[in-house]
Amino acid sequence: MRLRRLLPAAEARRHVAGEGRREKGAEKSSRKADATPEFFQPGHTYAGSGGWKFHCDTLTAHPEDGELTALGWRFFNGSWQPIAYEQDDWEAHQANGHTDVTDGGGA
């Protein structure tokens, strides 16, 4: 059984709608918080060892429990494939050193 950190549905919907993002000109709480998001970000591409890449197209929230899922494309073994990643996948990718390689910080 996989244990997952679940977000309240309203918080997930705000995140998906972009309301969780800072407004332009708002004070930054810390540069470290900006450098390490809590989940994949739409419009960003991530890379890791062995040629693995993931481009996140969008986020969606489970209608009952609000769990976020990133929908996008994974490049692995020489081809792009559609894929969905959940919160526990994000944590595993962070542990393996996968990083955001989006030019200019992404979308």
Q: What is the pLDDT along the chain (107 residues), one digit of tens a residue?
A: 333 444 444 555 455 545 544 444 444 443 444 566 889 999 999 998 888 999 999 999 999 999 999 999 999 889 999 999 998 899 888 888 888 999 855 44
CA dist., res. 34 & res. 88, Å (int)? 20
Q: pLDDT at position 42, please?
A: 96
Sign of CA dihedral 77, 78, 83, 86: positive
Q: What is the DSSP letter of 101?
A: -
Residue count of the chain, please give it. Answer: 107
CB 89 within 8 A of CB 56: no
Q: pLDDT at position 65, please?
A: 92
Q: pLDDT at position 37, please?
A: 80
Q: pLDDT at position 95, please?
A: 85
Write the burial class of residue 30 (CB in 10 Å: 0-12 exposed, 13-18 middle, 19+ buried): exposed
